């Protein structure tokens, strides 16, 4: 029977990760965890609570909130039909899920303003390049329930505070207003009129955008399109009275808070749900994909997703791009590593002792490593040094007999005999 099973084993096959995804390896994970810890701390300082929506949702949720005509919905979503014939999609961003959760759980009834943040994976089938992946991590925040410019400024200030917490100072905040239902349509019309005589000189994609999504022509990266739009009417000059007032107040509050920004008429953002304030934070250390973070106000989305009318503002930021910039500026995590106690048992009886000792030391909050290869003393000590352990606890037959371990301090190379019963208190006194 055993032989028959062996004969049926399939030929081994090596797999590779999916294009546009990456493995975060053990050697990098310390930096990621430390960076995530900084983000959690800053969010807490601003009074935001974490929310963790699911990784997949109904496709319709994203189509409705992000917008059918956007690049994300029209060509980048990972959508599939499950066995129950439901159309599902891996989230291409997290705001839609957060708003769905906000409505479904009646969070708006629990307090007047909800300040929520998230950190998790998003999926888009884009062309992978530096700073652009198909699975990437986003962190972001949403303020639900306030129409006030102070809320816009709280979101902008929070995103800036995250970067500052990493001592990252070299970034630019770009600001625009994309208007609201009153002024955006007349502006689109004006823009079309301006661009109509220039239509033939626009790139193919922008020609397609002309009727349905002319705002996106403004942020096209093609040199030809940029020339044609350089003198185009600007949305912030065409805002309705309420939008003008809102935009002016946001700028006044940013200035009062000492937050520098630049007006950028080309900033329209890829997502349909923005109203009024739109902003982006860019870094000149990132290359072509220079946006660290983007956000803005989306006053209509909650209602569109079946909730009570709830004004909202938020941002989403890329974790990989943050990590790339942190690498460039030489950021070093400050979290001290817990000292490692390396148990070096010699022989079977000693391994039995070591398993028990490891459990007790770990229960007392200590970081314990143990040889798992039944190696000799020399090899075990080499391993302890490789792991930069603080102590090696050597136990062989003699030590078992005397009930004392040989504890070697690997920084000073001094060795002490410590009674088994005293080990916990010894390490408590000496290593913490
Ligand atoms: P968006 O949701 O498109 O506004 O993106 C918000 C932020 O997420 C961007 O500023 C980037 O930092 C990051 N981001 C968006 N798409 C990707 C991607 N494909 N790969 C890596 N990061 C991304």
pLDDT by residue (tens digit) across 189-200? 999 999 999 999
pLDDT at 179: 94
Of 65, 42, 246, the C-alpha closest to 148 is 246
Other beta carbons within 10 Å of 383 = 18
Rounded CA-CA distance 53/214 in Å is 32
pTM of the model: 0.91
Is the pLDDT at 3 greater than 60, yes or no? no
Q: Provide mean pLDDT across the span 402-431.
A: 94
The answer to whether 137 touches 320, Cβ cutoff 8 Å, is yes
Residues lining ligand 1, judged by CB closer than 6 Å?
93, 124, 126, 131-133, 136, 138, 270, 291-294, 316-318, 320-321
Burial (Cβ within 10 Å: 0-12, 13-18, ≥19) of residue 189: exposed
Q: How much distance in Å is there from the Cα of 92 to the middle of ligand 1?
A: 9
Res. 271 pLDDT band, cuts 50 70 90: low
Cα-based angle 383, 352, 368 (whole degrees, multiple of 5): 40
CA contacts within 13 A on the Cβ side of 44: 6
Res. 7 pLDDT band, cuts 50 70 90: low
Atom of ligand 1 minimally distant from the CA of 270: 3
Res. 430 pLDDT band, cuts 50 70 90: confident
pLDDT tens profile 134-167 = 999 999 999 999 999 999 999 999 999 999 999 9
pLDDT at 69: 80
pLDDT tens profile 208-231 = 989 988 998 998 989 999 999 999
Is the pLDDT at 359 greater than 70, yes or no? yes
Q: How much distance in Å is there from the Cα of 313 to the middle of ligand 1?
A: 17
Of 251, 43, 257, the C-alpha closest to 165 is 43
Residue among 24, 91, 289 whose CB has most ligand 1 atoms within 8 A, to mutate:
289
Closest-CA residue, ligand 1 atom 4, reads 294
CA 432 vs CA 148, 212, 425: distances in Å? 49, 64, 11
Q: How much distance in Å is there from the Cα of 52 to the middle of ligand 1?
A: 18
DSSP 237: G
In 213-297, which residue ranges form alpha helices assigned H by DSSP? Answer: 215-218, 223-229, 241-256
pLDDT at 221: 87
SS3 97: helix
pLDDT at 30: 93
Q: Return the bridge partners of 88, or none.
A: 58, 80
* Structure tokens belonging to residue 222: 């093609």
pLDDT at 8: 80
Domains and their CATH numbers in the chain: 26-180+240-329 (3.30.930.10), 340-431 (3.40.50.800)
pLDDT at 380: 97
SS3 192: helix
* Average model confidence (pLDDT) across the chain: 94
Closest-CA residue, ligand 1 atom 8, reads 318
Q: How much distance in Å is there from the Cα of 273 to the middle of ligand 1?
A: 16
Q: Which residue has the higher pLDDT, 391 or 431?
A: 391
Q: How much distance in Å is there from the Cα of 106 to the middle of ligand 1?
A: 29
SS3 28: helix
Atom of ligand 1 minimally distant from the CA of 134: 19
Question: How many Å separate Cα 366 from the centre of its chain?
Answer: 30
Is the pLDDT at 37 greater than 70, yes or no? yes
Rounded CA-CA distance 265/259 in Å is 19
CA 431 vs CA 254, 339, 382, 423: distances in Å? 47, 7, 20, 12
For the ranges 95-99, 142-146, 251-255, 264-268, the lowest mean pLDDT is seen at 264-268
Phi and psi (nearest 5°) for 57? Answer: -140, 175
pLDDT at 274: 85
pLDDT at 67: 87
What is the bridge-based pairing of β-strands 340-345 and 391-395? Answer: parallel
Share of the chain above pLDDT 70, in %: 97
């Amino acid at each position: 029977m055993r032989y028959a099973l062996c004969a049926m084993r399939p030929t081994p096959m090596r797999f590779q990760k999916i294009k546009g995804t990456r493995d975060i390896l053990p050697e990098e994970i310390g930096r990621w965890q430390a960076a995530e810890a900084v983000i959690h701390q800053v969010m807490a300082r601003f009074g935001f609570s974490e929310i963790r929506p699911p990784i997949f949702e109904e496709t319709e949720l994203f189509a409705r909130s992000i917008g059918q005509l956007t690049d994300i919905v029209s060509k980048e979503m990972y959508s599939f039909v499950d066995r129950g014939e439901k159309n599902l999609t891996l989230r291409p961003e997290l705001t839609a899920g957060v708003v769905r959760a906000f409505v479904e759980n009646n969070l708006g009834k629990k307090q007047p303003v909800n300040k929520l943040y998230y950190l998790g994976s998003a999926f888009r089938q884009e062309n992978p390049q530096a700073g652009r992946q198909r699975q990437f991590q986003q962190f972001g925040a949403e303020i639900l329930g306030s129409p006030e410019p102070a809320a816009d400024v709280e979101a902008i200030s929070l995103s800036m505070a995250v970067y500052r917490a990493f001592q990252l100072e070299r970034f630019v905040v770009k600001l625009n207003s994309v208007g609201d239902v009153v002024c955006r349509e007349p502006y689109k019309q004006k823009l079309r009129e301006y661009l109509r005589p220039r239509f033939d000189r626009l790139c193919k994609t922008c020609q397609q955008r002309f009727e349905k999504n002319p705002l996106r022509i403004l942020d096209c990266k093609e040199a030809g399109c940029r020339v044609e739009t350089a003198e185009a009417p600007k949305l912030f000059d065409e805002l309705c009275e309420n939008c003008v007032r809102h935009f002016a107040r946001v700028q006044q509050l940013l200035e009062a808070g000492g937050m520098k920004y630049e007006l950028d008429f080309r900033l329209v953002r890829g997502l349909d749900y923005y109203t009024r304030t739109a902003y982006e934070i860019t870094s000149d250390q990132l290359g072509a994909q220079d946006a660290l973070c983007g956000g803005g106000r989306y006053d209509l989305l909650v209602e569109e997703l079946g909730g009570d009318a709830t004004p909202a503002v938020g941002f989403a930021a890329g974790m990989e791009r943050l990590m790339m910039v942190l690498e460039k500026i030489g950021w070093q995590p400050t979290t001290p590593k817990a000292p490692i106690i390396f148990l070096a048992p010699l022989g079977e009886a000693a391994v039995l002792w070591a398993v028990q000792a490891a459990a007790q030391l770990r229960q007392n909050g200590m970081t314990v490593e143990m040889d798992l290869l039944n190696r000799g003393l020399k090899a075990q000590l080499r391993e302890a040094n490789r792991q930069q352990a603080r102590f090696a606890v050597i136990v062989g037959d003699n030590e078992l007999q005397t009930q004392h371990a040989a504890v070697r301090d690997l920084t000073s190379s001094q060795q002490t005999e410590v009674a088994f019963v005293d080990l916990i208190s010894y390490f408590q006194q000496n290593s913490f």
